[in-house]
Structures are given as C-alpha cells and as structure tokens.
C-alpha cells in the first residue's frame, strides 16, 4: 500500500528509486506537493531528513517554501548547501546550461552529508528526469547511478518524475515502484512488455476520476488505485473497492 513513508522514505531492503509518471496536467506535481508537505511535518521522517526537489521546469513547488522564513528556490551550490543545512525542504531551480553539472554536484553533496552525519537522510525528487536519463544504460549520470545503487544503505531515496515512462532498463532494476497518473498511449506497449500491465484497463479506471492515480509495486507486483489528492492532511488515500492487491492481466 502506498503512503508517504514508502513514497519518500528509504528502506535498507528494497531499491531506493521510485518512478512517477503521467501525461502533462495529470496531477503529478499537485500530488507530490501535498505529499512532500505532509511528509515534511511528519514524525516518520527524522529531524535531519531533507526533501530536495530538483526542478528544471521552475514550476509548481514554490508553495512548499515559506517566504516569511526567507526560504527561496536556489540555483547554485552555495545556495543549495545553505538551504539543505537550514531547511527541511530545498527547492532547486537549475539553469539549463549547468543543470547537468549542478545535479552531479548536488548529489555528491547529499552523499557527503549522509556519510558524515549520523542522523542525516534525504529524499531527492528529480522532475523531468528524462532530461537527464536516456534509454541506454550508459546514458545515466554517474551520480544518479551512485544514488540508485548506494543510496539506500545511507537512508537516501530517489524519485524520478516524468511525463512518459522511462525507457531505461537499468533504472527499472533499481526501482521499487511506479506511481502512474494518466498515461500516453505510446507507453502502453512498454507497460505490457515490461510489467504485464494493461494500459486500457488502468486508463479506464484513472479516466473515471480526474487526478486519481495508481501505484504498482515492483516487488509485490500489486496494483492499487488512489483517490485524487485533496489536501496535505491525508495526502494518499486508497480508492474504495478494488484497490490493494490486484495482479493485472
Ligand atoms: N488532485 C487535484 N485536485 C484539484 N486540482 C488538481 C489536482 N491535481 C492537479 N490539479 C490541477 O491540475 C493542474 C495540473 O496538475 P499538475 O501541475 O500537478 O500536472 P502535472 O502532471 O505535474 O503536469 P506536468 O507534467 O505538465 O508538470 C494544476 O494546476 C492543478 O491545479
Ligand atoms: Mg508537473
């Protein structure tokens, strides 16, 4: 069952990558916004747990920051280091020209904190992840590979957010689950071939309630459906009837 702990938390026994995808406007950012907000207030995440959002679109997460506390998006290493030190949530707005380098440096910094501070853990949310990750196993930035392979032992987790499913097998082997909003038809073959998921059946269900979403657990192979997010108090709520343990055809 999906909840904010297993969406954002790390587990020493399962892969640390989660994927979230759905077409533009399907509700990914809205849901993640409210879920991050709830998680940031939750005692399930330790005092030194950090939520770091890397948003190349510069869009949709600003309301997570408290301007009264002088929290603003940051776009260079100096700002990132300071924000991660001081704030529960860090919002990074990279410039296109140096987004690749900044991503690598940010992850290096998070690793260094995780290795040196006992209570430090983090959730790293990478928006528009296909900007950085291609379909070939070698087309993944080194630090993302490091995150995916070594992150879980250090309490780190990685969320890859995208409009289409990532056509990268390596990422899949490192993923714990996928949260699926309304999908493009171009993804239906991939869903079927990779996981035996039936796009039409999932889409029929998601279409019946705007902004609803599904979660497919790649370890238990359970598919569950969730209500559209309403607020950040109970951000993730299973749909009545049929959610839970359906193994798709
Ligand atoms: N659960 C919801 N309840 C009410 N409105 C919602 C909900 N989810 C999304 N919306 C509205 O739909 C719009 C699009 O949602 P959102 O920005 O989350 O889409 P997205 O999947 O992140 O799209 P993109 O891939 O283009 O970033 C938002 O402006 C928001 O107001
Ligand atoms: Mg979005």
Rounded distance from Cα 29 to ligand 2 centre (Å)? 4
The pLDDT tens digits for 45-100 are: 999 999 999 999 999 899 999 888 889 999 999 999 999 999 999 999 999 999 99
Q: What is the CATH number of the domain that holds 215?
A: 3.40.50.300
Q: What are the start-end ranges of the E strands in the chain?
A: 17-21, 49-54, 89-92, 121-126, 156-162, 175-180, 213-217, 223-226
User: Can you tell me which atom of ligand 1 is nearest the CA of 27?
Assistant: 18
Atom 16 in ligand 1: residue holding the nearest Cα: 27
Atom 24 in ligand 1: residue holding the nearest Cα: 24
Between 65 and 1, residue with greater pLDDT: 65
CA distance readout (Å), 182 to 71, 167, 191, 202:
32, 17, 13, 8
Q: What share of the chain is helix, strand, coil (3-state, %, to 5)?
A: 40, 20, 45
Pocket of ligand 1 (CB under 6 A): 22, 24-30, 60, 163, 181, 211, 228-229
Share of the chain above pLDDT 90, in %: 63
Closest CA relative to residue 1, chosen from 245, 249, 198: 245
User: Can you tell me which atom of ligand 1 is nearest the CA of 229?
Assistant: 1
Instruction: Read off the tokens for 197.
Output: 């998921």
Between 10 and 24, residue with greater pLDDT: 24
Lowest mean pLDDT among 62-66, 144-148, 225-229, 231-235: 231-235
Q: What is the 3-state secondary structure (H, E, C) of 123-137?
A: EEEECCHHHCCCCCC
Average pLDDT over residues 171-185: 89
Q: What is the pLDDT of residue 3?
A: 86
Atom 30 in ligand 1: residue holding the nearest Cα: 30
Residue 59 DSSP code:
-
User: Number of folded domains in the chain?
Assistant: 1
Q: Which ligand has the nearest atom to the CA of 210?
A: 1
Contact 51, 36 (CB under 8 A): yes
Rounded distance from Cα 22 to ligand 1 centre (Å)? 11
Q: What is the pLDDT of residue 36?
A: 94
Q: Is 131 exposed, middle or buried (0-12, 13-18, 19+ CB in 10 A)?
A: middle
Which range of residues forms the domain containing residue 96?
4-245
Name the range with the highest mean pLDDT among 72-86, 146-160, 220-234.
72-86
In angstroms, rounded to a whole number, what is the distance separating the alpha carbons of residues 52 and 50? 6
What pTM did the predictor assign?
0.93
Rg (CA), the chain: 17
Share of the chain above pLDDT 70, in %: 95
Q: Which ligand has the nearest atom to the CA of 25?
A: 1
In angstroms, rounded to a whole number, what is the distance separating the alpha carbons of residues 223 and 179? 10
Lowest mean pLDDT among 83-92, 105-114, 128-137, 205-214: 128-137
Q: What is the pLDDT of residue 48?
A: 95
Instruction: Read off the tokens for 118.
Output: 């006992």
Atom 18 in ligand 1: residue holding the nearest Cα: 27
Helix axes 199-207, 188-195, angle to 10 degrees: 120
Residue matched to tokens 């909003």? 181
Rounded distance from Cα 33 to ligand 2 centre (Å)? 10
Q: Is the pLDDT of residue 236 over 50?
A: yes
Q: Which residues pair with 123 in a beta bridge?
A: 51, 157
Q: How many CA atoms lie within 13 A of 218 on its CB side?
A: 20
């Amino acid at each position: 069952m999906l909840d904010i702990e297993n969406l954002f938390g790390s587990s020493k026994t399962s892969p640390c990558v989660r994927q979230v995808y759905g077409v533009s406007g399907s509700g990914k950012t809205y849901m993640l916004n409210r879920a991050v907000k709830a998680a940031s207030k939750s005692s399930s995440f330790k005092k030194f747990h950090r939520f770091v959002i890397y948003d190349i679109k510069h869009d949709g997460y600003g309301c997570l920051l408290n301007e009264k506390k002088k929290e603003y998006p940051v776009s260079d290493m100096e700002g990132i280091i300071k924000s991660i030190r001081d704030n529960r949530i860090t919002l990074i707005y990279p410039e296109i020209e140096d987004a690749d380098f900044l991503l690598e440096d940010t992850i290096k910094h998070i690793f260094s904190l995780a290795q040196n501070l006992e209570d430090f853990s983090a959730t790293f949310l990478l928006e528009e992840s296909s900007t950085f990750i291609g379909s070939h196993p070698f087309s993944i930035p080194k630090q993302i590979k490091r995150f995916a392979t070594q992150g879980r032992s250090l309490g780190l987790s990685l969320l890859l957010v995208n409009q289409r499913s990532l056509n990268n097998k390596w990422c899949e082997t490192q993923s714990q689950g996928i949260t699926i909003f309304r999908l493009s038809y171009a993804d239906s073959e991939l869903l079927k071939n990779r996981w035996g998921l039936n796009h039409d059946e999932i889409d029929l269900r998601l279409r019946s309630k705007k902004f609803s979403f599904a979660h497919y657990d790649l370890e238990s192979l359970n598919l569950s459906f969730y209500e559209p997010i309403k607020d950040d108090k109970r951000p993730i709520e299973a749909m009545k009837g049929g959610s839970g343990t359906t193994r798709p055809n």
